[in-house]
Structure 1
Amino acid sequence: MDRDLISKKDLLDTTGISYGQLYRWKRKQLIPEDWFIRKSTFTGQETFFPKDLILARIDKIVNMKDDLSLDQVADKLSPMLLDYELRKSAFSERNIVSRVVLEQYASADPEHTVYSFEMLLTFYAVDKLLQTGEMTMDEGGRLLTVLREHFQKFEGKPCDLIFIRKMGVSTFLLVSAYADIYFDTGVKIVAKLPMAELIEQLRGKLI
Structure 2
Amino acid sequence: MEPNLISKKELLDEKGISYGQLYRWKRKQLIPEEWFIRKSTFTGQETFFPRDLILSRIDKIMNSKDDLSLDELADQLSPALPQYELRKSDFVKRNIVSRIVIEKFAAEDADTVVYSFEKLLILFVADKLLQAGEMSMEEGERLLHMLKEHFPKFEGKPCDLIFIRKMGVSSFALASAPSELYFEAGVKLIARISMAECVEQLKVKLA
Q: Structure 1-normalised TM-score?
A: 0.84
Deviates most, 8-17 or 140-149: 8-17
Preserved contact between residue 82 and residue 117 of structure 2 (Cα < 8 Å): yes
Q: Paired residue for 2:104?
A: 104
The Cα of 1:37 is off from its aligned counterpart by 4.0
- Counterpart CA distance in 2 for 1:5 and 1:85 is 38
5+ residue gaps, structure 1, are none
- Counting only pairs closer than 5 Å after superposition, residues 28-67 of structure 1 correspond to structure 2 as 28-38=28-38, 45-49=46-50, 50=53, 51-65=55-69
The Cα of 1:28 is off from its aligned counterpart by 2.3
Q: Are the structure 2 counterparts of residues 151 and 3 from structure 1 closer, same or farther at C-alpha, using a change threshold of 3 Å?
A: farther
- Counterpart CA distance in 2 for 1:13 and 1:112 is 53
Q: SS state of the match for residue 172, structure 1?
A: strand
The Cα of 1:57 is off from its aligned counterpart by 3.4
Q: SS state of the match for residue 64, structure 1?
A: coil
- Counterpart CA distance in 1 for 2:100 and 2:76 is 31
Q: Are the structure 2 counterparts of residues 114 and 3 from structure 1 closer, same or farther at C-alpha, using a change threshold of 3 Å?
A: farther
Q: Paired residue for 2:124?
A: 124
Preserved contact between residue 160 and residue 174 of structure 1 (Cα < 8 Å): yes
The Cα of 1:71 is off from its aligned counterpart by 4.5
Q: Are the structure 2 counterparts of residues 154 and 81 from structure 1 closer, same or farther at C-alpha, using a change threshold of 3 Å?
A: closer
Deviates most, 116-125 or 50-59: 50-59
5+ residue gaps, structure 2, are none
Q: Percent identity over the alignment?
A: 61
In the alignment, structure 1 residue 191 sits paired with structure 2 residue 195:
no
Q: SS state of the match for residue 163, structure 1?
A: strand
Q: Structure 2-normalised TM-score?
A: 0.84
Q: Paired residue for 1:114?
A: 114
Q: Are the structure 2 counterparts of residues 180 and 72 from structure 1 closer, same or farther at C-alpha, using a change threshold of 3 Å?
A: closer
- Counterpart CA distance in 2 for 1:82 and 1:3 is 35
Preserved contact between residue 160 and residue 195 of structure 1 (Cα < 8 Å): yes
**Count of residue pairs the alignment pairs up:** 202
Q: Are the structure 2 counterparts of residues 17 and 173 from structure 1 closer, same or farther at C-alpha, using a change threshold of 3 Å?
A: same
The Cα of 1:181 is off from its aligned counterpart by 1.9
- Counterpart CA distance in 1 for 2:76 and 2:163 is 31
Preserved contact between residue 53 and residue 197 of structure 1 (Cα < 8 Å): no
